């Protein structure tokens, strides 16, 4: 009996050893699979950067730093400057964020703090559906509906209201074309609104109810609770959502191409037609004749990549700074 017991115990030990061996192998395979997946992302990113640099090198070596600071774009004379597309990209994105950030935060606050439960889900679904609309649909709607509407209403009102006010008269100088940077900014604001709203709503819901109840208990109003409790508690997530939307705005192509006017000019007026980096590439890539012309367009793509990388880096630094201040 003792011998049989010893043999049984030995079998149990061997079974456990085999099971542990299988678990170790499985864990090692899982580790290498995830490592290869992460490495693939880095390799893909590196391949994109290398291909962009190689394609853009003829233009960069020909024009040097002047490619960035020159606003002249003349394919017939093979003179290319990226300043006008860079300017249009930045201005339209700023307009979009000025409009979308307060509206998106307001919608998120309404959904989490003020909206009746019966309306919360339908309104939330409606906002999220905006993110699923193809960008070309926004562009068509903007060109045929929004641009004529702005040409007849908002743009003339802005021109007439600020024509005698210094600085503002240059910012809203006419004539009213309907299309332009303001129209493109409005379209972008509508497109990035779902991202800001969805992220803000999700992070607002992470606030512990006990914090809000304590604030209400000492007599705070809803506005005071949102300003002093909800927003400070979720500021890291809010910054992340805003930067995600900004990255979306910087790279948008089709919708902006329809309504910005595609003019390689720099104007102080946000009503004037302009162009962006992505719109210039979309409009001219198929018509590009000659290696230098094609290289200039690839260089625009490289500049857009650099701008996006800078924006995301700044966002990351901001998040790290906020976390450090909050003791995270």
Say which CATH number the domain at 152 has.
1.10.3720.10
Domain-located, residue 153: yes
3-state secondary structure of 307: helix
Query: DSSP class of residue 153?
Result: T
DSSP 75-113: GGGTEE--HHHHHHHHHHHHHHHHHHHHHHHHHHHIIII
Domain-located, residue 53: no
How far apart CA 295 and CA 292 sit, in angstroms, is 5
Predicted structure pTM score: 0.88
pLDDT tens-digit map of 264-297: 999 999 999 999 999 999 999 888 888 999 999 9
Q: Rounded to a whole number, what is the distance in angstroms from the first to the last CA of the chain?
A: 61
- Asked whether residue 236 carries a pLDDT value surpassing 90, the answer given is no
Domain-located, residue 29: no
Domain-located, residue 121: yes
The range of the structural domain enclosing residue 305 comes to 66-325
Domain-located, residue 7: no
Number of domains in the chain: 1
Plot region of 290 (φ>0 → left; ψ -120 to 50 → alpha; else → beta)? left
- Asked whether residue 320 carries a pLDDT value surpassing 50, the answer given is yes
pLDDT band, very low/low/confident/very high, at 301 (cuts 50, 70, 90): very high
Given this model, what pLDDT does residue 186 score? 96
Domain-located, residue 274: yes
Domain-located, residue 16: no
pLDDT tens-digit map of 183-209: 999 999 999 999 999 899 989 998 999
Domain-located, residue 72: yes
């Amino acid at each position: 009996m003792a011998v049989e017991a010893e043999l049984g115990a030995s079998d149990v030990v061997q079974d456990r050893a085999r099971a542990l061996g299988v678990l170790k192998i499985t864990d090692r395979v899982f580790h290498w699979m995830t490592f290869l997946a992460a490495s693939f992302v880095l390799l893909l990113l590196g391949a994109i950067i290398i291909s962009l640099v190689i394609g853009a090198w003829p233009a960069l070596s020909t024009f040097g730093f002047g490619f960035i600071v020159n606003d002249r774009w003349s394919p017939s004379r093979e003179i290319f400057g990226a300043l006008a597309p860079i300017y249009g990209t930045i201005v339209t994105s700023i307009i979009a964020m000025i409009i979308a950030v307060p509206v998106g935060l307001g919608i998120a606050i309404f959904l989490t703090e003020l909206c009746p439960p019966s309306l919360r889900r339908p309104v939330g679904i409606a906002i999220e559906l905006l993110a699923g609309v193809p960008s070309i649909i926004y562009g068509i709607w903007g060109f045929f509906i929004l641009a004529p509407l702005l040409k007849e209403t908002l743009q003339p009102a802005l021109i007439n209201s600020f024509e005698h006010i210094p600085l503002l008269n240059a910012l809203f100088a006419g004539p009213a074309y309907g299309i332009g940077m303001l129209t493109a900014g409005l379209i972008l604001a509508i497109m990035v609104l779902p991202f800001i709203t969805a992220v803000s709503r999700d992070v607002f819901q992470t606030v512990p109810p006990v914090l809000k109840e304590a604030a209400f208990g000492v007599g705070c109003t809803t506005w005071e609770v949102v300003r002093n409790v909800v927003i400070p508690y979720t500021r890291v997530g809010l910054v992340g959502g805003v930067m995600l939307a900004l990255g979306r705005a910087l790279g948008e192509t089709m919708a902006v191409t329809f309504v910005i006017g595609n003019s390689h000019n720099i104007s102080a007026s946000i009503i004037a037609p302009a162009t962006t980096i992505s719109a210039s590439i979309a409009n001219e890539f198929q018509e590009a004749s000659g290696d230098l012309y094609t290289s200039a367009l690839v260089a625009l793509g490289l500049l857009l990549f650099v701008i996006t990388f800078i924006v995301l880096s700044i966002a990351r630094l901001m998040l790290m700074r906020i976390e450090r201040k909050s003791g995270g």
